[in-house]
Amino acid sequence: MEHLINTRVKNIEISGIRKFFNLVNEKNDILSLTIGQPDFFTPEHVKQTAIHAIQDNHTSYTPNAGILPLRNAVSEYVKELYQLDYKPEQVLITVGASQAIDITLRTLLNAGDEVLLPGPVYPGYQPLIELAGGKATYIDTSNDNFKLTVDQLEKHITPKTKCVIIPYPSNPTGVSLTETELRGLSDVLKKHHIFIITDEIYSALTYHEDHFSMARIEEIKEKTIVINGLSKSHAMTGWRIGFLLAPQWLAPHLTKVHQYNVSCATSISQHAALAAITNGKDDPIPMKQAYLERRDYVYQRLKKMGLEVIKPDGAFYFFFKINSELSSFDLALELVNTVGLALVPGDAFGSFGEGYIRLSYAYSLETLTEGLNRLEDYLQRSKR
């Protein structure tokens, strides 16, 4: 019966990150720096709020778009942090940022529409594009410090281009775009009938400049959709709360897809999210300080090993090359087999990631130290 299922589903593959993680997870004595998940616990006051929400019987369906106090709070939250002006009716509470991306693509795309992606890039976009009937078109940013440039963007726009995804700070590279760089891209995009999805899930984790959102640029705001959430900022990956901010004319259409997809985000998680962005506005600060310390330590170690590496200015990843004749997947497997270190092969992030390795520094300094010691051991062995 397998031949009868939806061919779009049949043709997509499990994420390369998860595929490799599952492969090495079966081995013993492996130190893994693979998963991009905060190693902090959800703040205690957020957990207590969720417990009280259960005890107070907030266990029913909520409005499709989310409870009004949370949508009000999100509106104030993004205004304070990012100078974004969205009314509560333009805010949709989703089941994580992933569902926000999914329903946005399903709302925007018709069969054959193309979506531009700066590669290497998070592997979760392409399957959702294809499930919505679209086609992912990758732009190679590896020669431009992993930054999407005006020239690259202009070259790849075609009559079939419906949308571009701007995923900064980036997974896997940790690179961000400055306000000047984003305004340059907007000058190109405002000339075309192209939607912009700006995925800002790592926006609370920038280390040199405050995050700038493309949705602040008035000329393109009416065709820009902002994706954000609490997974990375507040260590709430399992709570599955995302924020989708959209032009007023588009929000009702997104809500229709959301309604038939999940009805609403989990009621208890919504109350927890309300606590996170009101009483817990400063919760990301100590986490960010810890990530910054880890980033600087990892960068110094990688440079001392003589590796070609770009210093990330956001998120919690390094994306670097190791000189080898092996493919990135085989190299990552050799690291596992020889020194017991698991890093993600670059081809998990598309063909433009081939030759690279991703290291997540969302781990303790003690774990990072041991992992880097193992990497150094491998590099010394390979020179012999």
pLDDT per residue over 150-190, tens digit each?
999 999 999 999 999 999 999 999 999 999 999 999 999 99
Average pLDDT rounded to a whole number, residues 18-33? 80
pLDDT per residue over 257-301, tens digit each?
999 999 999 999 999 999 999 999 999 999 999 999 999 999 999
- Quick check: 383 pLDDT over 80? no
Average pLDDT rounded to a whole number, residues 302-307? 97
For residue 92, what pLDDT band results from cuts at 50, 70 and 90? very high
Locus of tokens 């009000």: 72
- Quick check: 18 pLDDT over 80? no
Which pLDDT belongs to residue 384?
Answer: 65
4-28 per-residue burial string, b: 16 or more CB within 10 A, e: under 16? eeeeeeeeeeebbbeebbeebeeee
Using alpha carbons, select from 5, 6, 9, 17 the residue that is nearest to residue 350. Answer: 17
Q: What is the DSSP letter of 346?
A: G
Q: Are 131 and 120 in contact, with CB atoms under 8 Å apart?
A: no
Average pLDDT rounded to a whole number, residues 355-369? 97
Which pLDDT belongs to residue 382?
Answer: 83
Whole-model pTM: value is 0.95
| Beta-sheet pairing, 224-229 with 242-245 | antiparallel
- Quick check: 11 pLDDT over 90? no
- Percentage of residues in the chain with pLDDT exceeding 70? 100
Q: Which residue has the higher pLDDT, 23 or 287?
A: 287
Domain ranges of the chain: 2-42+283-379, 59-278
pLDDT per residue over 94-106, tens digit each?
999 999 999 999 9
Which pLDDT belongs to residue 380?
Answer: 93
CATH of 2-42+283-379, one of 3.90.1150.10, 3.40.50.620, 3.40.50.2000, 3.40.630.30: 3.90.1150.10
State how far Cα 35 lies from the chain centre. 12
Mean pLDDT of all residues belonging to the chain: 96
Topology of the domain comprising 59-278 = Aspartate Aminotransferase; domain 2 (3.40.640)
Average pLDDT rounded to a whole number, residues 211-222? 98
Q: What is the DSSP letter of 265?
A: S
Using alpha carbons, select from 83, 104, 95 the residue that is nearest to residue 196. Answer: 104
- Quick check: 69 pLDDT over 90? yes
